[in-house]
Chain A
Amino acid sequence: MDLDLLEERYQQLTVELHPDFYANASKRQQQQSELASTVLNRAYNTLRNPVARANDLLPRLAQGAALDERQLPSGFLMEMFGLQESLDELLESGIPEEIAQTRTDLTERHATLISGLALHFAEAEATAPPSTLQTLQTDLNAERYLHRLLERFPV
């Protein structure tokens, strides 16, 4: 997605919907512009975050087809649990280089998963085979676990 274009359109619409323009308008019009602003902000926040965008888009692509929202790559849960456990030790022992390295590795893995989403989406939009949709769902499921791990690092 073209993020610059998104930003540009968002700014433009924000200005158009600005309450100042409606200072002399009817109560009804004022309310409508407020409502439109809320919708605009929600849409913007969803669109600019690739994971939120994917989570929003997938059910639309699936068109009611049931996707397994629990499915994870095989062995993934066990691995995540193991990583959580070793992170306990790591964060406690506090060797800064090791913490930084683990963080970099996990960040990369998370980023790879997210860029993979974009590819799968392109594929799904073109042909939408159910298996691609489930792959996307599985990736999105996995994303949350990686996200949780990353949240544990001190900022």
Chain B
Amino acid sequence: MAYSEKVVDHYSAPRNVGSFMKNDDAVGTGLVGAPECGDVMKLQIKVENDQIVDAKFKTFGCGSAIASSSLATEWVKGKTLDEAMTIRNTEIVEELSLPPVKIHCSVLAEDAIKAAIADYKSRSAASAD
């Protein structure tokens, strides 16, 4: 199957690949898997004053999943947590021109963002106690 130009671009030069220290209080980690195919994705955000100042990802999956997560890290940077929560997989599908069979790959990225935010929130709530 032919990948769109944008997918190829992200896939061949993924942005923000890597990891932050998991137990850094400013970091939220989202680890998710796609039940459809068994691919896994980790997306991390670094937060200052409710704003995402940096993001990293590592994805073991198809080209579309790698492109989706690469794009997701670019999109969340500079957003507040609330803004980042509103990112929908359909926007990723549109931006990357993903075909229907690759929609679940973009869902993985949306799930990863949400999981990272939830992790950050639960950890900062815990450390506030």
Chain A residues within CB distance 8 Å of chain B: 69-70, 72, 77-78, 80-81, 84-85, 141, 143-149
The answer, among A77, A85, A141, for a CB contact under 8 Å with B32, is A77
Q: B-side interface residues toward A, CB under 8 Å?
A: 31-33, 35-40, 42, 58, 60
Question: What are 6 A-B pairs at a CB distance below 8 A?
Answer: A77-B33, A77-B40, A78-B31, A80-B33, A81-B42, A147-B38
Given A69-B35, A145-B38, A148-B37, list of 20 further CB < 8 A pairs? A72-B33, A77-B31, A77-B32, A77-B40, A78-B31, A80-B38, A80-B40, A81-B31, A81-B40, A81-B42, A84-B40, A84-B60, A85-B60, A143-B38, A144-B36, A145-B33, A145-B40, A146-B38, A147-B38, A148-B38
Bound state CA distance, A72 and B37, in angstroms?
13
Interface core residue of A85, A141, A148 (most chain B CB under 10 Å): A148
CB–CB A144/B38 < 8 A: yes
Chain A's closest residue to B36 (CB) is A144
Cα(A99)–Cα(B27), bound, Å? 33
**CB-CB nearest in chain A for B40:** A81
* Assembled-state Cα–Cα distance A72/B32 (Å): 11
The CA-CA distance from A143 to B36 in the complex, in Å, is: 11
A143: B residues at CB distance < 8 A: 38
Expressed in whole angstroms, the minimum distance between the Cβ of A17 and any Cβ of chain B is: 31
Number of A-B residue pairs at CB separation under 8 A:
36
What residues on B are CB-neighbors of A148 within 8 Å? 37-40, 60
| Contact, CB under 8 Å: B60 / A70 | no
Q: With A and B bound together, what is the CA distance between A69 and B37 in angstroms?
A: 12
| A81 vs B58: C-alpha distance when bound (angstroms) | 9
In the complex, what residues of A have CB within 8 A of residue B37's CB? 144, 148
Please give the distance in Å from B66's CB to the nearest CB on chain A.
13
A113 to B4, CA, bound (A): 37
Let me know if B60 and A81 touch, CB within 8 A. Answer: yes
**Chain A residue nearest in CB terms to B58:** A85
Q: Determine whether the beta carbon of B35 is less than 8 Å from that of A70.
A: yes
Smallest CB-CB separation from A141: which chain B residue? B35
Distance in angstroms between the alpha carbons of A84 and B40 in the assembled complex: 9
Complex: chain B residue closest to A76, CB-CB: B33
**Chain A contacts of B39 at CB under 8 A?**
148
